[in-house]
Each structure stands twice: as C-alpha cells, then as structure tokens.
Homo-oligomer: A and B are copies of this chain.
C-alpha cells in the first residue's frame, strides 16, 4: 500500500485532508469501541449479557443450561467478558456467580432497548 496513484483528477483534496484529520482524532476511540463491540457482536455473549442484565447473577452451570452449550464453551465466553470488564465474578463455595459490571452499561443500554422491542426494530 504505497502506490497512491489512484487519486482522481476531480478529487477534493481538502475533503480528503479533512477526513484524515477527523479520523486521526478518533483513531484511539475507534479502537477502544471496536474492541468492545467485537465482544458484543457474538450472539452467545450478547445473550449472556442480556440474561445477566435481567437476573442479577448466574453461575457458569446455569448459563450452560440456559444456552444449551457445554460448560467449557460458556466459560471461555465468560472469560472474554470478564477480561474486558463486562462482567465480574464472585465465588461462593465451589460455585462461581457472574454478574454485569456497571462499566459498560451505557454502551449496552441501547442494545437491550432494541432487543426488548420487536425484531423488526433492528
């Protein structure tokens, strides 16, 4: 990617410059946002977040049953969600309960709202 010879004769160079500047300002924010969205854009993880929002807390075993998935599969999703501060865990005996953290409620709120409407709304 060096041969930028493609630029049209009629290209608006000011527009291109402006876009580059605008993008450079949000570069970091774009990375932070897509990092989080890539977690939420998985249907299993979105379901986990959705039920946790409704139920306060659930253990790995509960989620495995609810989602009809193996324990390790669920556990691996939970780890990703925990690593990115979407959920927290608390141990009680040998059971580990997961619950939503407040960190990303603002990001998640519009999604939960959409889900609670008709599917056509999306």
Task: Say what secondary structure dominates the interface of chain A.
Answer: helix
Q: How many copies of this kind of chain does the complex include?
A: 2
- Produce 1/0 per residue, A66-98, CB < 8 A to B: 111111000000000000000000000001000
- A33 and B114: CB pair below 8 A? yes
Contacts of A118 in B (CB 8 A): 29
Contact of A38 among B33, B41, B50, B54 (CB under 8 A): B41
Closest B residue, CB atoms, query A28: B119
A-to-B contact residues, CB < 8 Å: 1, 4, 6-8, 10-12, 15-16, 18-20, 22-23, 26, 28-34, 36-38, 40-43, 46-47, 50-51, 54-55, 58-59, 61-62, 64-71, 95, 107, 110-111, 114-119, 121-122
